Structures are given as structure tokens and as C-alpha cells.
């Protein structure tokens, strides 16, 4: 029973909340204890709230999840946890996260509230509206980055915000592309109504635009006058190849290996992606600090 409740919270998905640490790293405060602890608490709260959102989403999608080859194994869809138990779990997590709020400033709390409302609205409405579903997912990543900046009261580069927007759009588009592949290969009833408005050609074009946006915006961030002034070096440009490789590797896994529906699974199971991310973090930290 405990393992079912753990699955209900979807801990592997918490990796998405690591975006909260982006402002901490690029503001040169990574090794400042006070800033680090504050960002860590912000990460924990986002994990709690995101788990509440996942529970709400599972309740809303219980019928369609039962038609999905993987999602039918989720605790609610499989019947291992009933809706009433799931609601109680969500309420407990919400109360726990509420107890943390006194440690944060108004702007962080406001963004956390916006994140929650947006995702609940997504679970019931936006996920069925073409394009808005993708932008809603992307907005969630941007909110995490902005919240990470507000919680420690630091500024964040506009180029970095744009990079976050494009990479989150890219991941959302790749998710839809993978779902289209799954729907076509298994020839089963679509578990997402919005998929009928997408095609492989359309998602491929969007992925091209989004991936180009990631690479261009990040490259411009590394050579911008503000970046060079803050870090006193222009060597951050040497981290660009890791970003390009990461984008290309992700596209390869989606197009050639039929993966991508679960972003977290790729990030924690693909050896090449793990090594690339580790090298990027190490190189970036060495250059900045």
C-alpha cells in the first residue's frame, strides 16, 4: 500500500522542479548556505504542490488512463487507490506545503499559486485545447525559474528566460510527438482528445522552431554583455555544445527510439543524456565559480 501512495505522488517527476535552482546557479550564490537552503525549501514546496497537481490530474483522467498501455498501471486507474483516498492524500500534501509558505516572500507565494491554478485549469480545460496545452506546460517550467529567482531576490537574464521558454516548449512538443507515435503504432483509442488536432508533420515543424530557439537564445546568453560583466569571462560559450548535444540526443530518442512521452524517464535512464547533463553542470559551475 505504501508503494502505491509513493507512485501516486510521482517522485520521478520531481526532477522538473530542479529548474528552481537555475537562478541560484547563475547568480553565483550556489555555495552560499542561506541562498542554497532557501532554494532547497522552494524545491521541496514545488515537489509537494506538483504531486497535488498529479493527483488531481490522475483523478480527472482516470477513464482515459485505463485505455493507455502504461498509464493504466497508475494507482488510481488500476484501482489500487480509490478517488476518496487520493483526495485525502492531496489535501494532506496541500496542508504540509502551506506550512512552508511563511518562510517565503510574497512574490514566490504568488507564483506558486499561479502554478497551482494553471495546472488545475490545465487538467480540466487547457489540455484539450490545441497549442494552449503545449504553452501551458511551458509556462509551468518558466514559473519554476522565475520563482527560483524571486525566492532568493536575484535578477535573471532575459536571454535565460527565453531559453527556458523554448526548451520547455521543445519538451512539450516532443511529448505530443511521442504520443502520436504511440497512438499510431498501437492503433488504440486516443487517450488525449487534443491529439486529433496534431500531426507528425506539424509537431516536427514546431520542434524545429523550438529547438532552434533554445540553441540561439542560450548562445546569445553566453556572449551577452551582461553575462560577461557578471561572470568576468566569456568562457560560458564553451558550454553551448552540451546544450546542442542534449537537444539532438533528445530528438534522436524520440524519432529513432520511439521515446519522449515521459521526459523524466529519458533524463534518468539514458546514459548519454546523464553524462551530457553531468558534464554541462560541472563545466558551467567551474566557469562561473
Q: Which run of H or of E encompasses 60?
A: helix 33-60
| Cα–Cα–Cα angle for 114, 120, 122, rounded to 5 degrees | 100
Picking from 141, 189, 181, 145, the residue whose alpha carbon sits closest to that of residue 39 is: 145
Identify the top-confidence range among 99-103, 257-261, 280-284.
280-284
Segments making up each domain of the chain, as ranges:
1-156, 157-289
Q: Which pLDDT score is estimated for 189?
A: 47
Q: What value does the mean pLDDT take over residues 233-249?
A: 96
**Cα–Cα dist 126/131, whole Å:** 9
Least confident of 44-58, 118-132, 188-202: 188-202
| C-alpha atoms less than 13 angstroms from C-alpha of 12 in its C-beta half-sphere | 9
Least confident stretch, 45-49, 139-143, 216-220, 267-271: 267-271
Average pLDDT over residues 77-99: 93
Gap between the Cα atoms of 165 and 104, Å rounded? 25
Share of the chain residues as helix, strand and coil, in percent rounded to the nearest 5: 80, 0, 20
> pTM (2 decimals)?
0.91
Residue 251 pLDDT more than 70? yes
Among 71-80, 148-157, 214-223, 227-236, name the one with the lowest average pLDDT. 71-80
* CA dihedral of 243, 246, 251, 257, whole degrees rounded to 10: 180
With a cut of 80, say whether residue 257 has pLDDT above it. no
pLDDT, position 181: 78
Phi-psi region of 194 (alpha: psi -120 to 50; beta: other; left: phi over 0): alpha
Predicted local distance difference test score (pLDDT) of residue 188: 47
Whole-number pLDDT of residue 186: 52
Q: What are the grid coordinates assigned to 135, written together?
A: 504553452
**What is the mean pLDDT of the segment spanning 84-103?**
93
In CATH terms, 1-156 corresponds, of 3.40.190.10, 1.10.1740.10, 1.10.357.140, 3.40.50.1980, to: 1.10.357.140
Query: Any idea which of 36-45, 57-66, 210-219 has the lowest mean pLDDT?
Result: 57-66
Cell 525559474 sits on residue: 145
- Classify residue 258 as left (phi > 0), alpha (psi -120 to 50) or beta: left
Matching residue, cell 497512438: 183
Label residue 262 left, alpha or beta by phi (over 0 means left) and psi (-120 to 50 means alpha).
beta
Amino acid at each position: 500500500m505504501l508503494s502505491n501512495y509513493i507512485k501516486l505522488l510521482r517522485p520521478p517527476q520531481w526532477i522538473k522542479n530542479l529548474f528552481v535552482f537555475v537562478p541560484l546557479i547563475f547568480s553565483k550564490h550556489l555555495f552560499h548556505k542561506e541562498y542554497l537552503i532557501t532554494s532547497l525549501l522552494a524545491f521541496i514546496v514545488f515537489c509537494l504542490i506538483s504531486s497535488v497537481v498529479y493527483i488531481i490530474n490522475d483523478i480527472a483522467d482516470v477513464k482515459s488512463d485505463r485505455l493507455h498501455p502504461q498509464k493504466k498501471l497508475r494507482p488510481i486507474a488500476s484501482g489500487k487507490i480509490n478517488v476518496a483516498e487520493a483526495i485525502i492524500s492531496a489535501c494532506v500534501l496541500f496542508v504540509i506545503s502551506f506550512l512552508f509558505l511563511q518562510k517565503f516572500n510574497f512574490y514566490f507565494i504568488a507564483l506558486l499559486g499561479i502554478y497551482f491554478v494553471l495546472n488545475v485549469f490545465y487538467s480540466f480545460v487547457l489540455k484539450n485545447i490545441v497549442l494552449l496545452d503545449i504553452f501551458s506546460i511551458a509556462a509551468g517550467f518558466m514559473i519554476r525559474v522565475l520563482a527560483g529567482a524571486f525566492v532568493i531576490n536575484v535578477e535573471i537574464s532575459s536571454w535565460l528566460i527565453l531559453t527556458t521558454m523554448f526548451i520547455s516548449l521543445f519538451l512539450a512538443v516532443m511529448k505530443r510527438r511521442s504520443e502520436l507515435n504511440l497512438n499510431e503504432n498501437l492503433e488504440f483509442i486516443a487517450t488525449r482528445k487534443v491529439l486529433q488536432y496534431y500531426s507528425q508533420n506539424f509537431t516536427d515543424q514546431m520542434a524545429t522552431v523550438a529547438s532552434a530557439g533554445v540553441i540561439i537564445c542560450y548562445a546569445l546568453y553566453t556572449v551577452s554583455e551582461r553575462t560577461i560583466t557578471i561572470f568576468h569571462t566569456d568562457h560560458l560559450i564553451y558550454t553551448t555544445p552540451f546544450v546542442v548535444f542534449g537537444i539532438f540526443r533528445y530528438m534522436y530518442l524520440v524519432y529513432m527510439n520511439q521515446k519522449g512521452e515521459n521526459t523524466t524517464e529519458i533524463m534518468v535512464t539514458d546514459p548519454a543524456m546523464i553524462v551530457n547533463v553531468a558534464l554541462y553542470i560541472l563545466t558551467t559551475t567551474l566557469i562561473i565559480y
